[in-house]
Amino acid sequence: MAQTETQVGDELATLAADAKALHLIEFWKERMEIELPEPRGLVKPFLWHWDDIEPRLRHAARIVPVEDCERRALLFSNPGLGGRPFMSTTLLGAYSLYNAGEVAPVHRHTPCASRFVLEGKGGYTVIEGEKCRLERGDLVITPNGTWHDHGNEGPDELIWVDILDVPLVEGLNATMFEFDYSEADPRSNSGDPVPTQYQTISEPEDHSNRLYANGGMKPLFVDRQRGSGNHSPMLVYRWKAMREAFDKMRDYEGSPYDGIIMEYCDPTNGNPVMPTMSFRAQMLRPGEQTRTHRHMSSTIYVVLEGEGWTEVDGERLEWGRNDVFVVPTWKWHAHANARKDGDAVLYSVTDEPVLRTLGLYREQTRTDDGAILPVAA
């Protein structure tokens, strides 16, 4: 005998109640949450204006003692992420400021970290015993698990942009921060490790660059493994070298989407410097406008030189010196240098290596008549 509609209704209600009690969810009620036709798009294209933030950052430097915070950072919070301190679902970023003479004590963590210097001549990071002195435009990486402490030995304020893969690592439930550094005190007889706030320098001055910044030549007499061995043994990338490379490449056509773009790499194998993030710098020549594309990876940009705009999903993010902005995954975007008389230079960080490693990377372009075509990746 066929069931009546009421009977089926009653049985469905019972099923729903039972499922709830048993901590189950009926797939057919949540399909829209699962079968997304494309990435969710919570993360908003957004730009943080240096002019708005600089006075607040300098003020924070006067009223928030570094002893209280260890890292004096203003974290970028994407307006699509409900007030969480993340720029995208994979990346965290911040402007950090250290006053003359300040030091930030040693720690390590499972998220990979990076800093890109905006201001100050006396800044440094010590990573696994290497003291990396830094100036504007220099990139320094602190890979997963490497001990690091910072300081400012210069007369002026040190300002840099931190980019870390914190939300990605958190999504994988693999976050660990450790503050209990210790090392053998040379004055002690026992040689037992004692807790300390800063690392002893164990590598020679400019170690990373002396060994590895020789373009196309690598030393055969050193063990390339540092830290976990899962990242570049070169920890500092100098702006001067990138600028010189740009000048040599200026007359090439470049990428249709990014102009003259360079990836920072592990000089021993050409891989991205860390497994989760790729670091890049790109030069847009006077008046250059790029073609539109989109890809399954999110990108954070820092404006090093010049002025221009990036159009993301029809919205124009107008940028200038020291501004920071985010292009979320799978959003159509193109860049433009607004000046006719000077280059624009963007530094960027992307989670692309993760997407590529997992086979999730996709890229498309859109022609002038609106046709969507895959880009071979």
Binding footprint of ligand GTQ on the chain (CB under 6 A): 71, 73, 94, 96, 109, 113, 148, 150, 162, 164
Q: Which of 335, 230, 229, 318 is nearest to 281 (CA)?
A: 335
Q: How many helices (DSSP H) and strands (DSSP E) are in the chain?
A: 8, 25
The tokens for 225 are: 């493994």
3-state DSSP call for residue 1? coil
Query: Cβ 349 to ligand GTQ, closest distance in Å?
Result: 13
What is the smallest separation between the CB atom of 168 and ligand GTQ, expressed in angstroms? 14
> Is the Cβ of residue 148 or residue 293 nearer to ligand GTQ in the bound state?
148
Q: Is 287 helix (H, G, I), strand (E, B) or coil?
A: coil
213: Cβ contacts below 8 Å, ≥ 6 apart: 234, 237, 238, 241, 267
Nearer to ligand GTQ, 46 or 147 (CB): 147
**Shortest reach from residue 148's CB to ligand GTQ, in Å:** 6
Q: How far is the CB of 53 from ligand GTQ (least distance, A)?
A: 14
What b-and-e string marks burial along 126-151, b requiring 16 or more CB atoms within 10 Å of the CB? bbbebbbbbbbbbbbbbbbbbbbbbb
CB closer to ligand GTQ out of 142 and 298: 142
The least distance separating ligand GTQ from the CB of residue 71, rounded to whole angstroms, comes to 4
Q: Which is nearer to ligand GTQ, 105 or 259 (CB)?
A: 105
Report H helices in the chain: 5-21, 27-34, 50-63, 66-69, 166-171, 207-212, 239-249, 352-357
Residue nearest to ligand GTQ (CB): 162
Q: Which is nearer to ligand GTQ, 150 or 294 (CB)?
A: 150
**Closer residue to ligand GTQ, CB minimum distance, 8 or 201:** 201
Of 43 and 103, nearer to ligand GTQ (C-beta) is 103
Do residues 150 and 197 touch, judged by C-beta distance below 8 A? no
Nearest of 351, 349, 333, 326 to residue 45 by alpha carbon:
326
Which residues fall within 8 angstroms of residue 118, CB to CB, at 6 or more apart?
A: 95, 136, 159, 160, 161, 302, 322
Q: Tell me, what DSSP letter sits at residue 150?
A: E
Nearest approach, Cβ of 93 to ligand GTQ (angstroms)?
8
**Residue 234: partners with Cβ closer than 8 Å, 6 or more residues away:** 208, 209, 211, 212, 213, 266, 267, 273
Sequence-distant (6+) residues with CB within 8 A of 21 are none
Q: Which residue, 115 or 294, has its beta carbon nearer to ligand GTQ?
A: 115
- Give the other-Cβ count within 10 Å of 85's Cβ: 16
Taking the complex as a whole, how short is the minimal distance between the CB of residue 161 and ligand GTQ, in angstroms? Answer: 9
DSSP string, 303-326: EEE--EEEEETTEEEEE-TT-EEE
Nearest approach, Cβ of 162 to ligand GTQ (angstroms)?
4
For the bound state, the minimum distance from the C-beta of residue 92 to ligand GTQ, rounded and expressed in Å, comes to 7
Strand partners, 162: 94, 115
Closer residue to ligand GTQ in complex, CB, 98/246: 98
